Amino acid sequence: MARKNDYDYFDGFIKLSEYCCSAAEMLDDNIKKYDAETLQEKMKKMHEIEHAADLEGHEIIRRLAREFITPIDREDIVQLLHQIDDITDCIEDVLLHMYMYNVKSIREDAFGFSKIILQSCQELKDTFEEFKNFKKSKEIHKKIVHINKLEEDGDNLYTEAVRKLHMTSTDAIEIMTWTIAFNRFEKCCDACEEAANVVESIIMKNS
């Protein structure tokens, strides 16, 4: 029986995934209602989400250092924390790029990326809600597969978006700016898939 003061790492994973969802929602909203003039203010709000997620992650590490018994291997907990943290970092990097490169308007393909990223984060949160009872869950594998499918959609969108960019623009700065931007969008999709893959490997190890 777990002691009353034992920390629930699975709840911790859910909290971290909620920060991912908040960051993805903010990104999606900013892409849909893009305004270069207010981007710096929006970046500060995005960083607040990323910072809060970091604090939550540090708290989990602090508790982990004091625990003798954990529900899954300690190295798996640490790896999963890093993977979830990478998602919020990648999402923040998208807005940071828009600000640094002084992007004035959004290309159409960016809307597709922000939608895929938001769906991936929401699906990942659902995955973590199932994770605590992964041995009995009938849904967790479906959710992981769906995240993998969303990452494939992101890969395909990246390929087509970069091709369209080079076919429709002759502005070297625009091509460079958006090639990097699309790469950063695609990294967000990759980060979600990598977190889901870690969950899957932990399930396999503990089954």
> For residue 25, what pLDDT is reported?
98
Distances 167 to 14, 69, 96, 192 between C-alpha atoms, Å = 42, 57, 26, 30
Q: What is the pLDDT of residues 124-183, one digit of tens each?
A: 999 999 998 998 888 999 999 999 999 999 999 999 999 999 999 999 999 999 999 999
Summarize pLDDT for 1-54 with one digit per residue, the tens: 344 457 899 999 999 999 999 999 999 999 999 999 999 999 999 999 999 999
Q: How far apart are CA 20 and CA 17, in angstroms?
A: 5
> What is the per-residue pLDDT across 94-135, written as a single tens digit (0 to 9) for each?
999 999 999 999 999 999 999 999 999 999 999 999 998 998
pLDDT of res. 98:
96
Give the whole-angstrom CA distance, residue 203 versus residue 58. Answer: 24
As to burial, measured by CB atoms within 10 angstroms (0-12 exposed, 13-18 middle, 19+ buried), residue 44 is: exposed
pLDDT score for 3: 47
- In 3-state terms, what secondary structure has residue 207? coil
